[in-house]
């Protein structure tokens, strides 16, 4: 079974630039999550989708971060404009339902200079 796919794996940008990350969850998984993992810390949930609807985005900095899952499968996370403190690994995870095990992708390492 293919796992969660993410791209790009690495991205370096300058502050105030924009960046987008892509996630393809495991086939059939209705729930999709985006996490931010700052170096030395555990992942922090940014947003959770159930199919194409947002379940929880309480920790998403909405002034600069946005995410969508238009067709209920793939998802994109965008940052515009980026700040230095956005440097982190952005992890995508998926699960069959919110109560099932989450499977994580390899993450996208973002460096903001």
Partner 1 sequence: GESVGLHLPTLSVQEGDNSIINCAYSNSASDYFIWYKQESGKGPQFIIDIRSNMDKRQGQRVTVLLNKTVKHLSLQIAATQPGDSAVYFCAEKKAAGNKLTFGGGTRVLVKP
Residues 66-105 that bind partner 1 (CB under 8 A): 89, 91, 93, 98-99, 101-105
In angstroms, the CA 22 to CA 74 distance is: 7
41 binds partner 1, rule: CB under 8 A: yes
Residue 45 corresponds to which tokens in the numbers above?
A: 């949930």
Among 4, 23, 67, 110, binds partner 1 (CB under 8 A): 4
In angstroms, the CA 20 to CA 96 distance is: 25
Whichever of 38 and 84 has its CB closer to partner 1, that residue is 38
Evaluate whether 112 touches 18 at the Cβ level (below 8 Å): no
Whichever of 80 and 113 has its CB closer to partner 1, that residue is 113
Contacts of 10 by beta carbon, 8 Å cutoff, 6+ apart: 108, 109, 111
57 binds partner 1, rule: CB under 8 A: no
64 binds partner 1, rule: CB under 8 A: no
What residue ranges bind partner 1 (CB under 8 A)? 4, 37, 39-45, 48, 56, 89, 91, 93, 98-99, 101-107, 109
């Amino acid at each position: 079974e293919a796992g969660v796919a993410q791209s790009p794996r690495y991205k370096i940008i300058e502050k105030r630039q924009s960046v987008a990350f892509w996630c393809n969850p495991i086939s059939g998984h209705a729930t999709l999550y985006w996490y931010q993992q700052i170096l030395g810390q555990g992942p922090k949930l940014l947003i959770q989708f159930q199919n194409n609807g947002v379940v929880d985005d309480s920790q998403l900095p909405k002034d600069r971060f946005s995410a969508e899952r238009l067709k209920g499968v793939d998802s994109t996370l965008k940052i515009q404009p980026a700040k230095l403190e956005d440097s982190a690994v952005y992890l995508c995870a998926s699960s069959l339902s919110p109560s099932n095990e989450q499977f994580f992708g390899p993450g996208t390492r973002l460096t903001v200079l």
